[in-house]
Amino acid sequence: MMGLDEKAVERAWILIDGAVFDAPRFIYEYDDQPELEYLYLGTPHEPVIEVSPCLVKPSPSSRIWSEQGTWQDHAVVLMADEILPVLADHLRSLLSVKLSDGGYSYLRFYSPKQLVRLMGVFSDLERDQFSGPITDWLAVQNDGQWRRFCAEGQKSARQASEEGWFVLADHHIEALAAMAREEFATRLARYLCLNDTSRVNALIQQANSFGFRTEKEVSRFAELAVVHGERIEHPELQAILSSTEIPAGMRLNEVDKRLAYGVAS
């Protein structure tokens, strides 16, 4: 558990990912007088406000902290000495970021997994600029331990109308992609009960060579390859896997069926 002391709780806010967790229902069930703000409110994203990230300041008598295990995988905790409108507007300014090609992209910094990755690729100066008046970010990691990222908290808060001011450079994107690949390889190795990193990476590369891109597709191919071994190298199955005319899911289904019923042996 996070275990914030009384002084820290007074400065703490919870930012919940409304796309994966019913934040309002949970908040009002465990807090009679919370401060709550939908980040999509008053922005171009308001038409999908039902999946908006929610910024919450628990009341002094809140029961939300005692239910930490319920929300910690879907939220991050911030420390800031700001009033709700100012802090909410700064967070709204970060809902999307500018890319090096001039385009814009959503930034799911309110997801614990994404926040840990982002903070890992920012320099100290970038973290301070990104954080504005926020002095601390806390997010739970895959191992259940909480990670804290500190910032000076002295930068001015941005306005919601400035959304897109923060630039996510190519080196940020490359580093984020590399971290995501490494995390996926670790999860896949655990799922397949393989301790051979080279073998896991080879399976991922082989899956990619057949055009399998999503984690679900790559995982399924890797499982078939591990379970059936050399049988998946049968020319008939290789032809199916290599087909560019059949959708990825259908190819995997067909190969799975033929391996299961001994068509390729």
Taking only the tens of pLDDT, the chain with its 265 residues reads: 566 777 888 899 999 999 999 999 999 999 999 999 999 999 999 999 999 999 999 999 999 999 999 999 999 999 999 999 999 999 999 999 999 899 999 999 999 999 999 999 999 999 999 999 999 999 998 778 899 999 999 999 999 999 999 999 999 999 999 988 998 999 999 999 999 999 999 999 999 999 999 999 999 999 999 999 999 999 999 999 999 899 999 999 999 999 988 765 4
Q: Judging by DSSP bridges, how do beta strands 54-57 and 35-38 pair with one another?
A: antiparallel
List C-alpha distances in Å: 191 to 184, 222, 223, 231.
10, 10, 9, 21
Across-strand partners of 139?
147
- Confidence at residue 217, expressed as pLDDT on a 0 to 100 scale: 96
- Confidence at residue 264, expressed as pLDDT on a 0 to 100 scale: 52
* Residues contacting residue 88 through CB under 8 Å, at least 6 positions apart: 37, 39, 55, 160
Q: Is 135 helix (H, G, I), strand (E, B) or coil?
A: strand
- Confidence at residue 169, expressed as pLDDT on a 0 to 100 scale: 93
- Confidence at residue 2, expressed as pLDDT on a 0 to 100 scale: 66
CB 88 within 8 A of CB 145: no
In this structure, what are the phi and psi dihedrals at residue 21, rounded to the nearest 5 degrees? -150, 135
d(CA 111, CA 73): 8
The sign of the torsion formed by the CA atoms of 192, 109, 149, 129 equals positive
- Residue ranges in the chain assigned as alpha helix (H): 6-11, 23-30, 68-71, 84-92, 112-121, 124-131, 170-192, 197-209, 215-228, 235-242, 248-260
- Confidence at residue 265, expressed as pLDDT on a 0 to 100 scale: 47
